[in-house]
Amino acid sequence: MKSTSKYALLFACLLALAGLLFLAVPNLAAQQDAPPVIGDADDNFNPPPCDYNDTFYKDNGLDPNSPFNVGRFGTSRQTGPPATGSQKNWVADSNCVTKDPNRRNFRILATTGGNADDGNSPFTNGTPETVEFISILSFVTKQDAFESSYSRTVGAIHGGLDGDQQNAGTTISITPGPDPDTGATSVNPRGISMQGIVSNFEGYAALKQILPNGTFAGNPCAADMQSPLAPPTPCFPVNTVNTVFTPNLRQDWRFATNRNAMDGSDNNCISTDTSVCPNGVSDSPYGYFCDDLLGMWILTYFWFTQPPNTTDPVCAPIFAAIGAKNGFTTDGTPIILTAFELNTELEANGCGAEGKENVDGSDGGAVWLVCPAIPDPRAGAIALDAFLDQVHQSNGAPQNITLLIDFLSLKIFGVFPNELTLSQKSQLNSSVAAATAAQ
């Protein structure tokens, strides 16, 4: 991210805080009616997601027209995964710019569901499993998509009756680096690169490991990502951005959103006053809403090094225990919801692995995702024509029924299920039944 006016950053942080307060106190922001009146202006506080305009991308260090920034919604992929049948991933909407000048007039209909890593997300709605919704905008396949240099002056004023209104404005800029943490060659005046910021936020993709011929692939088809715990072949493909579309996933996405300035989980402390920051200034790993303004994630693949029917004396009991708690994927392996399950239970015992694609683009697939999370999915953020992008079992049933229930409640009533009246809950149950029957 580049240097911007301190007031612009403060405004972004306040917007994020407003969303968090709205979650904690439903009547605070949108002045919800009890029960909510659908279509009421005060019940449409949060606009649905639209693509960013080119200037906003560039102001935040990413070239929107780079050949390594692919599949941009609003420019391409109106149909096809994640949309199915007659669905469209996005539609033209002239209200986008009216509601947010940093957007362009293409509204995203595909609403991808997932889970917060460890359930400590800023979007939590009080349930043990924290559901989240993101909006896919594009995929970045190589670090060259991040700008190497940029400069734009904003807020300049020259005028007034007596010429007394003068302001040179603020320069948004990036210059050659390097960023010592990432090796990226473009940094803002603080010496930080956009690549470095967004690489702190992980989106976990769980690609299917059971191949079409029924064999189990214990590693990705990229030599630099493979774990020595499993044979290199057969392998599952990771060489195109299409591999991370939902039809190729064994379970829904996981998002490491537990680095948020609003709740202090980013561990930042930026005061030189030792009474405020006794351990000194700490400016990383940054806050998702106040630093990662494009809502990007670095894509982290995670996989099992043993097949679902393993008899391994260590891995088999672990698989069974996690599966009994979380359920099982389309592969028959257990659904992984937390960092503890992945890192401590699977990887530490040689039962799982994770890896990222090479930032130089040599692996061929997506390295980063431009997929901003919806800060508060209530009060209009999920429009009536949006559709849910989630993993389904082989029988067509949603793998995670909680995602579907929350999505339909938000779409129809603008609130989470625990905020509905008895009458609305009855209507929601009917809608869920109809949706599952149609699968």
Q: How far is CA 224 from the centre of its chain?
A: 25
Cβ atoms 305, 227 nearer than 8 A: yes
- The Cα 18–Cα 202 span in angstroms is 24
User: CA dihedral defined by 169, 173, 175, 181, rounded to 10 degrees?
Assistant: 130
* Least reliable range by pLDDT among 184-193, 258-267, 332-341, 370-379: 258-267
Beta bridge partners of 187: 175
**CB-based burial of residue 181 (10 Å sphere; 0-12 exposed, 13-18 middle, 19+ buried)?**
middle
Token readout for 59 is: 């102001």
Model pTM above 0.75: yes
Is the pLDDT at 127 greater than 60, yes or no? no
* 403 Cβ neighbours under 8 A, 6+ residues apart: 113, 114, 131, 252, 388, 390
Cβ atoms 130, 115 nearer than 8 A: yes
**Distance (Å) of CA 50 to CA 39, 44, 372:** 20, 15, 10
Cβ atoms 53, 65 nearer than 8 A: no
- Closest of 303, 335, 298 to residue 220, by C-alpha: 303
pLDDT tens digits for 108-126? 999 999 887 755 444 444 5
Is the pLDDT at 17 greater than 70, yes or no? no
Q: What is the largest CA-CA distance in the chain?
A: 84
- The predicted structure's pLDDT at residue 285: 59
Average pLDDT value for residue range 307-328? 95
- The Cα 109–Cα 90 span in angstroms is 5
Cβ atoms 261, 268 nearer than 8 A: yes
Is the pLDDT at 49 greater than 90, yes or no? yes
Beta bridge partners of 115: 131, 254
Cβ atoms 203, 255 nearer than 8 A: yes
- Closest of 384, 371, 295 to residue 43, by C-alpha: 384
Per-residue pLDDT band for 332 (boundaries 50, 70, 90) equals very high
pLDDT tens digits for 178-208? 777 676 777 877 778 888 888 888 899 999 9
Beta bridge partners of 282: 269
pLDDT tens digits for 407-428? 999 999 988 888 888 998 898 8
- The predicted structure's pLDDT at residue 117: 72
Token readout for 409 is: 């409640």
- The predicted structure's pLDDT at residue 258: 57
Average pLDDT value for residue range 312-331? 94
In sequence order, which ranges of 25-140 are alpha helices (DSSP H)?
26-29, 54-59, 95-99
Is the pLDDT at 434 greater than 90, yes or no? no
Q: Mean pLDDT for the chain? A: 82
pLDDT tens digits for 259-290? 666 556 666 777 788 888 887 777 665 777 77
- The predicted structure's pLDDT at residue 257: 63
Tell me: cis bond preceding 82? Omega within 30 of 0 counts: yes
